[in-house]
Structure 1
């Protein structure tokens, strides 16, 4: 006889389960977020972010919560599971992709690689292979990534704005021919009426989006969501407050970037400096 599975109604995703447990324990204790912050000596907004799943917090704060709630080791164990869970990030990216297909406008900041919507097959293949993909899986991922460009095709295509760090354009592919093809596609896309390309020069110095790639989507219902990722993980952000903060950082970076006309000239200079002809 198969073993019955206990159904608790709580999430099976480690990060979400950790957030749910934090909220449940606080409510059972009868504390507000502000009261909890005062009693443990941390800014109460940190606990709010942890309960929303926006951050996991550090081991010190989790251990303090374990002690305060009388749950020795429970929260720390859930925290460790949440830290090591990558399934949720794949799920969040799939949700982002579904939302992208329905968006009325998109804007993107690229810190290390070109936006997927602007990648050639050769560029996508080399970037994905560098991340460890190979064989049939690599080809499937390349096809999926290049296929996303259909979002920008047709009369009803959403407006798309991309800010690309100069560092991205100074990191060519190993195959010079493929790199030239990629630069030519950038120039072609930048000429489209609904596509706006900015280059962010390295000389602008530190800014608010230095450590991550950020993508924003304006949805049919008027909401804006963001997807933020680094080399190890990504996170879909739908809460208004953090999305607003990211938008302000994006706007500040856009103010530092070259104009669309200057940006096209910059990409053209990079293309002219690239030895595209293998015989030369």
Structure 2
């Protein structure tokens, strides 16, 4: 079969296509960034970043642009495709991201950091910053990471369980207000019917996954794979014997964790402690 002929000549990459469409619509409207900002709201620099592909913006901004340009739902649909596009993540994560999008259930264990699907923008920004991400790439990567939460908010969202080492909750952000917002977000997400959060206390001692962040993904056929990550690299385990060994270790971690109810109380105490600290 011959390759499909490109009719429009526009980009086939979701993020670039979204930026391209924004530039085209504004050009056809004959307005400047400053004029656009005056009518729609927000800072003109925000629209500039979106048209350059450096930022995707928020759904509120995109909906306002849809209304202004008379393109009901078009820009929002392109925005959703761009947010879900795995190519905006680094190469080694792309296969994992594709599998994550197809998962019907997910089990996670965190040793040091919160999982991306539960991070607030403030948490993601600080974590990516200290990880050495270049400043010009920061906004795009924060948006991409936070956008992954849509996976847990969809109507057909997968069942998600995370076990957080106590150390994750004992490592606050530099900005107390941002840390409180993150803890509140954990409480909110933990109340969803498809999300279970458990805390592994220090008193549990050493366990088989002590220094390894792990995510298990099960698809509709029942096949399970595991993504194992350290601070420097990640590896996808697909061979059944390796996955079973990891699952056994995970089960032992879960057996030692606080119950979901006890974990909610633990996070509540952490929030009370954080609320007592003065903001800087």
The whole-number CA distance in structure 1 between the counterparts of 2:176 and 2:279 is 11
* Corresponding residue number in structure 1 for 2:95: 95
| 1:199 corresponds to | 199
Number of aligned positions between the proteins: 192
Q: How far did residue 211 of structure 1 move? A: 1.2
Q: Aligned with 1:232: secondary structure? A: coil
- Aligned residues of 1:214 and 1:227 also touching (Cα < 8 A): yes
SS at match of 2:199: strand
Give the structure 2 partner of residue 113 of structure 1: 113
Counterpart for residue 236 of structure 2: 236
Are the counterparts in 1 of residues 106 and 159 from structure 2 also a CA contact under 8 Å?
yes
| Corresponding residue number in structure 1 for 2:123 | 123
**What's the secondary structure of 2:149's corresponding residue?**
helix
**Cα offset for 1:122?**
0.2
Distance in structure 2 (CA, Å) of the matches to 1:261 and 1:272: 17
1: CA distance, partners of 2:132 / 2:270? 28
Q: 1:244 to 1:202 in 2, by over 3 A?
A: same
2:197–2:260 contact (8 Å) kept in structure 1:
yes
- Deviation, 1:138, is 1.2
CA shift, 1:93, in A, is 1.7
Using the size of structure 2 for normalisation, the TM-score is 0.66
Bigger CA radius of gyration: 1
Secondary structure of the residue aligned to 1:173 is coil
Alpha-carbon distance change, 239 to 161 in structure 1, aligned in 2, over 3 angstroms: same
Structure 1 Cα separation of the partners of residues 209 and 277 of structure 2: 36
State the shift of 1:278 in Å.
4.6
How far off is 1:212 after superposition? 0.8
Shift of 1:113: 0.1
Separation (CA, whole Å) in 2 of partners of 1:190 and 1:114: 13
Residue aligning to 1:176: 176
Runs in 1 of length 4+ with deviation above 3 angstroms? Answer: 275-280
Cα deviation code 1:136-166 (max 9, x no counterpart): 2111111110000000012210000000000
C-alpha separation between the residues in 2 aligned to 1:183 and 1:275? 10
Structure 2 unmatched ranges of 5 or more: 1-89
Question: Is contact 2:175–2:279 with CA below 8 Å preserved after alignment?
Answer: no
Deviations 1:153-209 (A, max 9, x none): 122100000000000000000000000000000000111111000000011110000
Q: 1:174 to 1:155 in 2, by over 3 A?
A: same
Q: Any conservation in 1 of the 2:103–2:220 contact (CA below 8 Å)? A: yes
